[in-house]
Amino acid sequence: MEEEKKIEDHSEENSFIRIKKFKFIMLIFLLIFSTAGITLVALSFGDEKAVSVAIPERKEFSKLYEAYDMLDEKYFEKVDHKKLIDGAIAGMVKALDDPYSDYMTKEENDKFQESISASFQGIGAEIQEMNGDIVVVSPIKGSPAEKAGIKPNDKIITVDDKNIQGMSANEAVLLIRGEKGTKVTLSIQRPENSETIKMTITRDEIPINTVYAEMLDNGVAKIQITTFSKHTYDDLATAMKEMEDKGMKSLIIDLRRNPGGLLDQAIQIANLFVPEGKNIVQVEYRDGTIEKTAAQAGKKVDIPTVVLIDKGSASASEILAGAVSESAGIQLVGDKSFGKGTVQTANNFKDGSNVKYTMAKWLTPNGNWIHKKGIEPDVKVSLPEYANVSYIDPDKKYKVSSASNDVKSAEEMLKVLGYKPGKIDGFYDSDTEKAVKKFQKAEKLKVNGILTGETTVKLMNKLSEHIQKNDPQVKKAIEELTKNQ
C-alpha cells in the first residue's frame, strides 16, 4: 500500500516539505520518481550538513509504473485510479495460478466475512476457481443449492445467462448471491455429462448452522459437521452432550460435503479424539521449516467412532480426517476426499480490501501431502448411481410425447421410488404418465399425469429422502461400529 501512496504523491512532483527543527533549520525533501526507481534527497539550509536517504530501487516495477502512467495520461477516457490499482493487485495474485489465492475488493471482502458469520443470503454453495472454471466444492446442508440438486464438482458455466468462465470465485459469488426470495438461473455442467443443466434457484437466508446431531438405533449417534466456522467446536460440544444424555454408545462423525473452513476449529475438534502428544497436523513452509501441532491434554472421546468422508470433504475436514485416522486409529468410510493440502492466510488493507494467499502446505500426522490426491477411506462405499440423477426444472412442463433429459431423470426417480415408469429412455409415454399419476395420488397432489411445478419438486424431495433413509455409507459405518461392540 506504501507504493500506492507514492504513486499518488507523484502528481505533486516538485512539492517541498518544510520541517522546523532547533535553529529553524529548513530541510527540503525532493521526491524524485522515475520508472527506474525512487530516490529521496534531503537538501540542507543553515550550518547542518545535507543528508541523503536512498530508498532502494525496484527495477522490476518499472514496467508496471510505465503502464500505469501511460493509461493514466493517454487512455481515451479518464481512468479510475483505484480500479487500476485493484486490477494490478488482482492480476499479480491471479498470475500465481493458485485457486486458493485471491484479491478481494472491499465489497468482495465484506461478502466473504458474511459467509463465516451467523448467516447470509444466497443459494448456499461453496465454490472455487479451478483452471478457469467455477467449480462447486460442496453445497451447504439444507440450502437452496442442495435442495436443487447441486453436487460437488459441478461446473457453473453461466449465471443468469452471463458466462462466468475466467472469473475469480469472488466475482462469481457477487453474481450468484442476492436477496432472499429473488431467483438466479445457473447453467451447470457435470463431469460425467457434456450437456448443461439449467437450474432456477430461489435465494434464501443461509444460516451457518454447522453441526447437526441425531440418535440412530442401538445407541449410535450421528453428528454431521457441514463446515468449520467460528462456533463449530462449541456447537459440537453441545451436540455431544445432548447425544450422551440420550444414551450414546458409539459415534459417527459425518464430514461428507464439508468444504473446510477455519483451521483452529478443526484442530480443536481433532484434539477430542487424538491422544495427548500425538500429531494432529504438520505445516510446512517454503524454507522447509515444519511446524507440528500435537494433541493437548483434556477431555477425550473414548467411545467407538467412525468418520464419513466423500469427494466434497476438503481442506479443514481433511485435516480432521487425516488426524483421527493416522493418530487415533479411527476408521474412515465413504469415498476419496477432495484433496486440498494448502494453508491460506489473509492480509487486510486500510481501505477494506484483502489479499488471501497460500502461505504453506499442510501434511498429515505421518507427513503425507494429500494435495490433489485426497485421502482414501479405509472402507470404500459409494452412494448409488441414482444419487447423481440430474435436477429437473419445476418451471418446465412435461406430458405424453415430451422427450428430454429431464424426462429421463424423472423416469429414473420414479423407478427408484417404486412407480414403474416403463423404459428409462427420456420419452414421456403412457407408462410414464401412469407412474406420474400414481405418484401424484400417493402424495395427494392434483392427478393429471403432467410433470411440472409442485409435482416435480415433490418428486425430487422424495428421492432425496429415499437416499438419506437408505444411505449405504451410514449403514456401513454402523456395521463397522457394531463389530467393535
Q: If DSSP codes are grouped into helix, strand and coil, which group holds residue 179?
A: coil
How far apart, in Å, are the Cα atoms of 30 and each of 22, 27, 39, 291? 21, 10, 9, 46
Which of 108, 126, 326, 480 is flagged as catalytic?
326
pLDDT, residue 104, reads 87
Q: Which range has the worst mean pLDDT, 123-132, 310-319, 332-341?
A: 123-132
pLDDT, residue 55, reads 52
The DSSP 8-state label assigned to residue 72 in this structure reads: H
- Domain boundaries along the sequence of the chain: 2-74, 119-207, 211-380, 386-469
Spatial contact of 145 and 124, defined as CB atoms under 8 Å apart: yes
Residue 351: is it exposed, middle or buried by C-beta count within 10 angstroms (0-12/13-18/19+)? middle
pLDDT, residue 117, reads 55
pLDDT, residue 481, reads 92
Q: Is 350 a catalytic residue?
A: no
pLDDT, residue 119, reads 58
For residue range 180-208, list pLDDT tens digits in order.
899 999 999 887 677 788 889 999 987 77
Across the chain, what does the average pLDDT equal?
84
Q: What is the CATH number of domain 119-207?
A: 2.30.42.10
Q: Is 83 a catalytic residue?
A: no
C-alpha to C-alpha distance for 437 and 447, rounded to whole angstroms: 5
Write b or e for each residue in 30-63: b if 16 or more Cβ atoms lie within 10 A of its Cβ, otherwise e.
ebebeeebbbeebeeeeeeeeeeeeeeeeeeeee
Whether pLDDT at 414 is above 90: yes
Which of 147, 340, 408, 476 is flagged as catalytic?
340
Rg of the Cα atoms in the chain = 29
Q: Which of 354, 371, 362 is CA-nearest to residue 101?
A: 354
What kind of fold does domain 386-469 have according to CATH? Answer: Muramoyl-pentapeptide Carboxypeptidase; domain 1 (1.10.101)
For residue range 95-106, list pLDDT tens digits in order.
999 988 989 888
pLDDT, residue 139, reads 84
User: In percent, how much of the chain has pLDDT > 70?
Assistant: 86
The DSSP 8-state label assigned to residue 351 in this structure reads: T
Whether pLDDT at 24 is above 50: no
Whether pLDDT at 19 is above 80: no
- Of residues 110 and 427, which shows the higher confidence score? 427
Q: Per-residue confidence at 25, pLDDT binned at 50, 70, 90?
A: very low
For residue range 354-394, list pLDDT tens digits in order.
999 999 999 999 999 999 999 999 999 999 988 888 888 88
Q: Is 326 a catalytic residue?
A: yes
Domain 211-380, classified CATH 3.90.226.10, yes or no: yes
Q: Do the domains spanning 119-207 and 211-380 agree at the CATH topology level?
A: no
Residue spans of alpha helices (H) in 155-262:
169-176, 232-245
Q: Which of 26, 44, 34 is CA-nearest to residue 7?
A: 34
C-alpha to C-alpha distance for 343 and 273, rounded to whole angstroms: 22
C-alpha to C-alpha distance for 129 and 137, rounded to whole angstroms: 10
Whether pLDDT at 30 is above 60: no
Whether pLDDT at 408 is above 80: yes
For residue range 438-465, list pLDDT tens digits in order.
999 999 999 999 999 999 989 998 998 8
Strand positions, DSSP E, 36-154: 37-45, 52-53, 102-104, 119-122, 125-130, 133-139
Number of Cβ atoms within 10 Å of the Cβ of 206: 22
For residue range 279-314, list pLDDT tens digits in order.
999 999 999 999 999 999 999 999 999 999 999 999
pLDDT, residue 485, reads 59
Spatial contact of 107 and 174, defined as CB atoms under 8 Å apart: yes
pLDDT, residue 7, reads 31
* pTM for this model (two decimals): 0.73
Q: Which residues contact 387 (CB under 8 A, 6 or more apart)?
A: 467
Spatial contact of 322 and 304, defined as CB atoms under 8 Å apart: no
